[in-house]
Amino acid sequence: MRALTLPWRADKAGGDRSLQGIVALVALVLLVVVASLVSLSSGPTGVGLPELWAYATGNGDSLAAQDRVVLEAVRLPRTALGLLVGAGLAVSGAMMQGLFRNPLADPGIVGVTSGAALAAVVAIVLGPTVLLPLTLLFGNQFLPLMAFCGALVNTWVLYLIATQDGRTSTTTLILSGIAIGALSAALMGMLIFMADDRQLRDITFWSLGSLGGATYGRVLSILPFVAVVIAIIPFVARGLDALVLGDAAAFHMGIPVQRLKKIVIIAVAAACGSTVAVAGSIGFVGIVVPHLLRLVMGPSHRFLLLGSALGGGALLLIADSVARTVAAPAELPIGVITALFGAPVFLFLLLGKGGIRMRDMP
């Protein structure tokens, strides 16, 4: 296969890509380290790698107080948030593709992100009035929880419509995703009509997506969601592999199919919803990262899911660094960068490059 052009090719190892997967995971860890350094050292102020090194080795006294504030209050939370958001987006994409047995499934494309964004807007507009008791009850977690519920409802509805008798039709999946996304957008339009000026600004932020305004509070509100999703990876990886052969074959191989699907749907909604809550809708990470990784390490979820978490974090940090520097001191919305990169990859996928052919899909 053209896609496998690495020195440790599958055909040399007799079809076993385990080593390939492990090597790729190690490389991804290094990539995350590099991307974090890039993210911590880039920006309009003069804090670069030397200052970062001085700070990390304990010679922080030599730094100007202003630089310390930039690092501690701005860049560290922003880098941590970027890693978590990128990991959440990419893992939810990879899990969704496994659930639907379809490399084109992506929370952004099939309307799950819109559901989360709609719920976030509901929380912003109705939170201070109609939903005040809930706002007071959940505090800072109210927005992430609402986004999670919005993503969950849309994933579930999508699954019920697009998968019948254990088979998912690509056409039904994409078309019903578009309809669900359109419905969410329409409801969002009604809420925007009701919103006041301050709420409008918040909503604009959600629709574009950004890591700007990252705080430790936001890092803490997304952390439990992403941590839980990453923690369940070892328990769903084998099941998702078996599910690629179909519901029946997965059951024959001892997978409790219905339970697996419920867990994966909830995980997708948790990862997608929480990222939308803290960073708005950032598209295409969920489709680009798993796809590129399949070319490198093969499609087995044993390595793909963890690899997506690492690769998604790294990709988002790099995209964010670009967003901060190309138009400095102004900042491009990060969703623009990921779409500029991701949409062509998506089209490339539809062309049938990279070992995936539309006609092989159910």
Residue 112 to residue 359: CA distance in whole angstroms: 25
In the complex, least distance from residue 248 CB atom to another protein, rounded to whole angstroms: 6
Is residue 56 close enough to count as binding another protein by CB under 8 A? no
> Closer CB to another protein, residue 16 or residue 72?
16
Of these, 7, 15, 139, 329, which contacts another protein (CB under 8 A)? 15
User: Segment 256-285, which members bind another protein (CB under 8 A)?
Assistant: 256-257
Residue 360 to residue 106: CA distance in whole angstroms: 18
Of these, 5, 7, 14, 330, which contacts another protein (CB under 8 A)? 14
Residue 183 to residue 186: CA distance in whole angstroms: 5
134-160 burial code (b ≥16 CB/10 A, e <16): ebeebeebbbbbbbbbbbbbbbbbbbe
Helix H segments across 101-131?
112-126
Is residue 238 close enough to count as binding another protein by CB under 8 A? yes
> Closer CB to another protein, residue 218 or residue 302?
302
In the complex, least distance from residue 102 CB atom to another protein, rounded to whole angstroms: 6
Residue 93 to residue 208: CA distance in whole angstroms: 19
In the complex, least distance from residue 16 CB atom to another protein, rounded to whole angstroms: 5
DSSP reduced 3-state for 48: coil
Task: Write phi, then psi, for 8 (nearest 5 degrees).
Answer: -100, 60
Q: E strands within 238-311?
A: none
In the complex, least distance from residue 113 CB atom to another protein, rounded to whole angstroms: 22
Is residue 137 close enough to count as binding another protein by CB under 8 A? no
Residue 80 to residue 300: CA distance in whole angstroms: 28
293-331 burial code (b ≥16 CB/10 A, e <16): bbbbbbbbbbbbbbbbbbbbbbbbbbbbbbbbeeeeeeb
Is residue 356 close enough to count as binding another protein by CB under 8 A? yes
Residue 280, token pair as written in the block? 């708005």
Is residue 251 close enough to count as binding another protein by CB under 8 A? yes
Residue 315, Cα to own-chain centre: how many angstroms?
10
Is residue 3 close enough to count as binding another protein by CB under 8 A? yes
> Closer CB to another protein, residue 101 or residue 218?
101
> Closer CB to another protein, residue 36 or residue 102?
102
What count of Cα atoms within 13 Å lies in the side-chain half-sphere of residue 169?
A: 8
User: Segment 299-328, which members bind another protein (CB under 8 A)?
Assistant: 299-300
Q: Which residue has the tokens 């005040």?
A: 132
The neighbour count for residue 14, using CB atoms within 10 Å, is 6
Binding to another protein by CB under 8 A, coded x per residue (else -) over 195-234, reads ----------------------------------------
Of these, 36, 79, 92, 102, which contacts another protein (CB under 8 A)? 102
Is residue 298 close enough to count as binding another protein by CB under 8 A? yes
With contacts defined by CB under 8 A, name the span among 11-19, 70-78, 173-181, 189-197 that binds another protein: 11-19
With contacts defined by CB under 8 A, name the span among 107-115, 191-199, 318-326, 350-358 that binds another protein: 350-358
Closest CA to 18 of 307, 312, 310: 307
Residues that bind another protein (CB under 8 A): 1, 3, 9-18, 101-103, 238, 241-242, 244-246, 248-249, 251-257, 294, 298-300, 355-357, 360-362
